[in-house]
Structure 1
């Protein structure tokens, strides 16, 4: 495609990219810029070492590898892809799309303070369709009645469907953690915030935009009043604003500056995974759905 010379083989490539995203939750080729992504595509180096790939079947990896062969003459045809053992009805296709990493991320989300949860919701709403394509499909899978909200029963059913072995009390806790506005359900924005890949939190533009959302007067600080108003906007009650600020306010001046905000947002994130991508977050809705 980048060389402006393509035929039907490009459709197999596109399908391979989609399968990679559905299985891992991240795109096969990544960089901070569009040009960088193009260069990664031209290199064609696939990562099958970062979680969750070690737990995904060799058959699935073989299919993805053959569909993403840079040489269109050696790439599988559509018919060959459909006949691959991982796809065939009688073949072996045990992998559960987006399960472990999503559960991992949701569990980590549950341990975050209210400010970080709200900030992630702000960042989630700024992401493009391409950045959250896999999560969108997972949300649709869980939202069985297409209401735009995931109920507790839908969450329990969905987690069991992907093989998660959690007690009802644990699922209740995950539900409560992801339900930022305490509505009793998880809406689309809350789901994306709780399960998105944490490389989004490493981007300066995303972090600064999120900080500005709370710093309404542009003073360079998030004050108690501004945080109180944000909690009201998100429908968050029964929250001690002083405690939230106290967790983040390193210099004890009673407010949060940008550096303190960034430190809070990046705290607890795992070390970098492949090619500069941030590895996934800890135990949360992400973990339950195994979105790593």
Structure 2
């Protein structure tokens, strides 16, 4: 990245650029011109560029929201991954979640500290995400981890945080330790059951299904398996019982 920036190289071939209009790409290219003497000024961009000026070439179609993409990815995760993300969210600093807090507050229009279905629908619309009401309902049900009918701040952050925060070793290991109550180097079926119960995440049938998605009959999860699960999109089923609790 440093070499690309210092060399003035701009990659317009990788996603999402192929789907971006020619006028928008032209503006970005001119704003990022390496030599400031040839770089477009803000005044010229506002007054003259076809993508910005009134009646110009800017499309009325909104690009797909990154927040919506993250919510949809969260929706498709197994229960252990969802709960892990909420635990990580609870341990992030204010600086790390500043942008998401602002977005949460903007959606929480009544200032209740939670986001309702109607607030989520309105918030996604403001972000430019055109989503069917049935799909918004699915997102709502997925993000509302404790199933109390609304999305609290940590549920929202867990569902929308940048993946790089999840992959940080320190954050993942703290989450693993939170599950591993007896500190023996494994997460067991019983420990996972206790964690689900603590967050009131579904009835007995839902809990049993969630456990079976991750563990086999005698399964235990060590940190390496836990890390692998969190860094991959698809859920894993643990079939190996480690011979040592050491990480």
**Range into which the TM-score falls when normalised by the shorter chain:** 0.7 to 0.9
C-alpha contact 2:193 2:211 (8 A) present in aligned 1: no
Give the TM-score of the pair, scaled to structure 2. 0.74
Q: Deviations over 1:237-284 (max 9, x none)?
A: 41554443332236x534322233123213326xxxxxxxxxxxxxxx
What is the distance in 1 between the residues matched to 2:153 and 2:9?
A: 33
Question: What secondary structure is seen at the aligned counterpart in 1 of 2:171?
Answer: helix
Q: Which runs of 5+ in 2 are unaligned?
A: 235-247
Asked if 1:193 is matched to 2:158, the reply is: yes
What is the distance in 2 between the residues matched to 1:242 and 1:255?
A: 16
Closer, same or farther: CA 211–78 of 1 in aligned 2, 3 Å: same
Give the TM-score of the pair, scaled to structure 1. 0.64
Question: How many residues are treated as equivalent by the alignment?
Answer: 230
RMSD in angstroms over aligned alpha carbons? 3.2
User: Which one of 118, 126, 130 corresponds to residue 153 of structure 1?
Assistant: 118
1:76 — aligned with what? 40
What is the distance in 2 between the residues matched to 1:146 and 1:43?
A: 47
1:226 — aligned with what? 191
| The 10-residue stretch of structure 1 (63-72 or 129-138) with the greater mean CA deviation from structure 2 | 129-138
1:12 — aligned with what? none
What is the distance in 2 between the residues matched to 1:87 and 1:126?
A: 41
CA offset at residue 102 of structure 1?
2.7
CA offset at residue 141 of structure 1?
4.8
What is the distance in 2 between the residues matched to 1:50 and 1:126?
A: 33
Closer, same or farther: CA 157–203 of 1 in aligned 2, 3 Å: same
Q: Deviations over 1:47-87 (max 9, x none)?
A: 44444333333333333333333333233323223334333
User: Which one of 208, 212, 227 corresponds to residue 246 of structure 1?
Assistant: 212
Closer, same or farther: CA 60–192 of 1 in aligned 2, 3 Å: farther
2:138 — aligned with what? 173
Asked if 1:184 is matched to 2:149, the reply is: yes
Closer, same or farther: CA 232–208 of 1 in aligned 2, 3 Å: same
1:123 — aligned with what? 88
| The 10-residue stretch of structure 1 (153-162 or 128-137) with the greater mean CA deviation from structure 2 | 128-137
